Amino acid sequence: MDKPAGDPQNPLLELRRLTPARIALGRTGTSLPTGAQLDFQYAHAQARDAVHLAFDHAELRAQLAEGGYNTLLLHSAAPNRDTYLQRPDLGRKLCDASAQTLRDYASTHPDGLDLAIVVADGLSALAVHRHAAPFLARLQEQIAVEGWAVSPVVLVEQGRVAVADEVGQLLNAKMVVILIGERPGLSSPDSLGLYFTYNPRVGLTDAHRNCISNVRLEGLSYGMAAHRLLYLMREACRRQLSGVNLKDEAQVQTLASDAGTNTKGNFLLNTPNT
Domain of 206, CATH number, reads 3.40.50.11240
* 265: in domain: no
- d(Cα 204, Cα 88) in Å, to the nearest integer? 15
Mean pLDDT per 10-residue segment, the chain (274 residues): 53 75 80 85 84 92 93 97 96 97 94 95 95 94 88 97 98 97 87 97 96 92 94 95 87 45 43 43
Same domain for 60 and 47, yes or no, is no
Candidates 218, 216, 223, 213; CA nearest to 253 is: 223
pLDDT of residue 99: 97
Domain that holds residue 135: 55-239
* 250: in domain: no
Which residues, listed in sequence order, are joined to residue 153 by a DSSP beta bridge?
Answer: 71, 117
Candidates 165, 181, 195, 196; CA nearest to 102 is: 165
pLDDT of residue 261: 39
Same domain for 96 and 171, yes or no, is yes
Amino acid at 43: A
Same domain for 71 and 177, yes or no, is yes
Same domain for 44 and 130, yes or no, is no
pLDDT of residue 257: 41
CB 109 within 8 A of CB 191: no
* 156: in domain: yes
Sign (positive or negative) of CA dihedral 143, 147, 148, 154: positive
Same domain for 62 and 182, yes or no, is yes
Same domain for 89 and 214, yes or no, is yes
Amino acid at 231: Y
Q: In a 10 Å sphere around its CB, with 0-12 CB exposed, 13-18 middle and 19+ buried, how is residue 157 labelled?
A: buried
> CA geometry: angle at 235 spanning 231 and 240, to 5°?
145
Residues ≥6 apart with Cβ < 8 Å to 49: 126, 189
Same domain for 71 and 181, yes or no, is yes
pLDDT of residue 265: 46
Number of domains composing the chain: 2
Same domain for 36 and 139, yes or no, is no
Same domain for 41 and 148, yes or no, is no
Same domain for 192 and 98, yes or no, is yes
pLDDT of residue 185: 81
pLDDT of residue 65: 94
Same domain for 63 and 28, yes or no, is no
* 272: in domain: no
- d(Cα 208, Cα 244) in Å, to the nearest integer? 7
* 40: in domain: yes
